[in-house]
């Protein structure tokens, strides 16, 4: 019996007051969402729950309120303005806890997701995804959008035909990352970090120019492991250079472990039928106690501003919400529990052509703390590394002033003394 659905049949499964759960990034099923929008007047109070939406849509922009609405767990270019305009709800969360949060707060949920074509055993793969939806496999119904461009991958992201309501087909290339230009500041920051990474370390590396610069400088390392929420193209480079084999990992030895992947077609080709990569739910990948099992764990993430206590505001810009917490806090805690763990939070020391310091006495009004003063380990700018863990407030302030842009250091010293942080 086939479970292939026609467009009209999809709406038979979507009921009023229902919650629809969508994977992030390339797990977003464009055709299924098109069908929902085309038939939105049939629906009443249906909510779409998603982290990091790829495509701007009418329901995201509030044009289908009362029928179809969007609830976000991490803002993106598709949802940021809609949130600012009051058309999207944003739910605070730690990435590793998103599955239990959704399980607790949703009613009669269905997962809509992209998958690779079914194999001869009746299994689909969620491809570049495990994220928060893999934990729902076998627990709630799925409707799949089968796309031959989605790589077939391994791990806990496979689903049998008996576990789905049905599927439609929609063959279209996956969205690719636009790789940022690496600046001189990015390279300098990366140099400081790469000096601290040793053979056999296990890495969590985020997305962006600085992480890309770091990975480009690690090709001479050996026996590196990967345990990261997101896989990017730079990891392919490290595998091909012989730097990554995972043989010194404490868990999943020899395997690259991730919750999702986002990059270029080169990355997606690398992932296809590659048994060295395992996609696991983010509830596992980002769990601090799982992270801590890797005794030489290194975490590299970015922030937008830091105060002299070491608090990192990574989800707001100038006090305005821009993204959300993601997994930064998860890995900050995880490396603290790791026997030899090290965490690095990176940023340029200034913005707007060196006119605004990103290191200040206090965070900007309205800014949200993502990595707390208790979990922060190292802060890195183009002027060096401030080593904060285990340091006093006065020692932290002095270390952070030392990696601020030189033109702001005198004022920072004055502010720190006036406020009683240093003598």
- Catalytically active residues are 229
> Rounded to whole angstroms, how far apart are CA atoms 376 and 366?
20
Both structure tokens of 58: 């009418």
Which residues are bridge partners to 261 per DSSP? 231
- Candidates 287, 188, 205, 198; CA nearest to 243 is 198
- In the numeric block, the tokens 């106690």 are attached to 289
> Rounded to whole angstroms, how far apart are CA atoms 417 and 408?
14
The 8-class DSSP code of residue 152 comes to: P
Answer positive or negative: Cα dihedral of 93, 99, 103, 104. Answer: negative
List the Cα angle 129/130/132 in 5-degree steps.
115
Helix, strand counts (H, E) of the chain:
13, 25
Both structure tokens of 167: 């599927």
DSSP-based three-state secondary structure for 140: coil
> Rounded to whole angstroms, how far apart are CA atoms 98 and 37?
25
N- to C-terminal Cα distance for the chain? 77
Contact 219, 198 (CB under 8 A): no
The 8-class DSSP code of residue 199 comes to: T
Both structure tokens of 330: 């998860």
Both structure tokens of 239: 């595998």
Which residues are bridge partners to 164 per DSSP? 142
Contact 233, 209 (CB under 8 A): no
């Amino acid at each position: 019996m086939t479970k292939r659905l026609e467009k009209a049949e999809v709406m038979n499964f979507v009921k009023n007051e229902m919650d629809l759960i969508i994977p992030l990034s390339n797990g977003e099923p464009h055709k299924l969402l098109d069908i929902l929008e085309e038939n939105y007047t049939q629906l009443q109070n249906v909510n779409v729950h998603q982290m990091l939406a790829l495509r701007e849509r009418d329901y995201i922009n509030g044009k289908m309120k009362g029928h179809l609405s969007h609830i976000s767990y991490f803002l993106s270019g598709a949802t940021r303005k809609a949130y600012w305009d009051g058309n999207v709800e944003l739910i605070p969360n730690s990435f590793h806890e998103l599955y239990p949060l959704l399980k607790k707060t949703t009613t009669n949920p269905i997962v809509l997701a992209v998958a690779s074509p079914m194999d001869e055993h009746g299994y689909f793969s969620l491809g570049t995804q495990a994220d928060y939806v893999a934990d729902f496999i076998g627990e709630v119904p799925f409707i799949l959008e089968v796309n031959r461009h989605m790589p077939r991958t391994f791990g806990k992201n496979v689903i049998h035909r008996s576990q789905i309501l049905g599927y439609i087909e929609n063959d279209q290339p996956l969205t690719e990352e636009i790789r940022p230009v690496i600046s001189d500041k990015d390279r300098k920051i990366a140099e400081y970090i790469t000096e601290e990474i040793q053979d056999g370390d296990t890495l969590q590396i985020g997305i962006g120019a600085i992480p890309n610069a770091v990975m480009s400088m690690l090709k001479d390392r050996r026996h590196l492991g990967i345990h990261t929420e997101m896989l990017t193209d730079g990891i392919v480079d490290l595998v091909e250079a012989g730097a990554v084999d995972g043989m010194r990992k404490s868990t999943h030895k020899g395997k690259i472990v991730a919750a999702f992947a986002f990059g270029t077609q080169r990355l997606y080709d690398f992932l296809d039928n590659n048994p060295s990569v395992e996609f696991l739910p983010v509830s596992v990948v980002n769990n601090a106690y799982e992270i801590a099992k890797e005794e030489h764990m290194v975490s590299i993430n970015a922030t937008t501003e830091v105060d002299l206590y070491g608090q990192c505001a990574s989800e707001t810009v100038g006090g305005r919400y821009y993204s959300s917490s993601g997994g930064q806090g998860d890995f900050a805690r995880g490396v603290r529990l790791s026997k030899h763990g090290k965490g690095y939070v990176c940023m340029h020391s200034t913005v707007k052509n060196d006119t605004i310091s990103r290191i200040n006495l206090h965070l900007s009004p309205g800014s949200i703390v993502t990595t707390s003063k208790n979990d922060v380990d190292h802060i890195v700018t183009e002027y060096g590394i401030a080593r904060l863990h285990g340091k006093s407030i006065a020692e932290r302030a002095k270390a952070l002033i030392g990696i601020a842009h030189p033109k702001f250091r005198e004022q920072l010293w004055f502010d720190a003394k006036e406020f009683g942080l240093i003598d």
